[in-house]
Structures are given as C-alpha cells and as structure tokens.
Amino acid sequence: MSKAIPFATDAWVKRLGEECNKSRAYREAAKNWEGDLYVIVEPEGRLQETVHMYLDLYHGQCRQAFVPADPTTLNPEFCISGPVSAWKAIAEKKLDPMKALFTRRITLKGNMAKVLKNVKAANELVNCTTGFETEFPL
C-alpha cells in the first residue's frame, strides 16, 4: 500500500479531489450539486493551528482542491468545521457526517436545506476518503 498522506495538508485535500474525480458513485450522487466549501480542521493533537482545506465541487467533479495560503481570500458557500478527532471518526466511518452535524461534533455555515437534499453526495464524498491511507495528527 502507498504511504499515508498527512491529514489537513494540501497533499491530502488534492488527493481527495482526485478520488472524487475517479469515483463513479460520487459523480452520480453529486450530479446536481453546485457549491464550494471549506473543510476547516480545528487544532487538536499534533495539529497546532486551524487548517482550511478548499474544495470546489460542481456536478460530481472536483474542480479545485487545495489549502490556501490565506483563507480570507476565498468566500466559499459552505464552511464545515470540526476538530481532528471528529474528521477522523467520519473518515473511518465511525461517525455519520449528518449525525456529526446534528450532534454538533462538526458545525456548518451555509444552507443546511441544500446539504440535506444532497446527503448521498456528502456520504459519497466521505467514501472518497477511504481510497487512500490517511495519517491523522492525533
């Protein structure tokens, strides 16, 4: 197996974007989705500062994925925030992303109704994180 990619890094979010673009299941589930987002990882464990990972998702494709040098330069439609432990639980499928939102393990800024109409797309996005090994800073 390939080497684990450190979570909350530019390499990790770029790989997630690649996995989305390779996934037929994601493409189908997200065919009507239009919206960019920040996955905001709050400091915990060895992660000492907040990391903003940007994803531009459009009709089942990831058009861009990167960690911006200055997160204030972008204004994505959605911001989803949480500590490393919550993202790890979601990626390892120990925590459903919608349950994480409703229990406030992660928080959402943006149109919740739009997210609720696209739960399958959100779940397939999470499935894309299982296509490669991740090293979490815990």
Give me the CATH code for the 5-124 domain, please.
Answer: 3.30.1050.10
pLDDT tens digits along 40-80: 999 999 999 999 999 999 999 999 999 999 999 999 999 99
- Measure the CA–CA gap between 118 and 36, rounded to whole angstroms: 14
Containing H/E element for 5? Answer: strand 5-6
The pTM for the full model equals 0.95
Question: What are the structural domain ranges in the chain?
Answer: 5-124
Of 120, 114, 46, residue with least CA distance to 80: 114
pLDDT for 2 equals: 67
Per DSSP (E only), the strands in 28-101 are: 34-42, 51-58, 61-66, 78-83
> pLDDT band at residue 116, thresholds of 50, 70 and 90?
very high
pLDDT tens digits along 16-27: 999 999 999 999
Sign of CA dihedral 61, 64, 65, 70: negative
pLDDT for 98 equals: 92
pLDDT tens digits along 70-110: 999 999 999 999 999 999 999 999 999 999 999 999 999 99
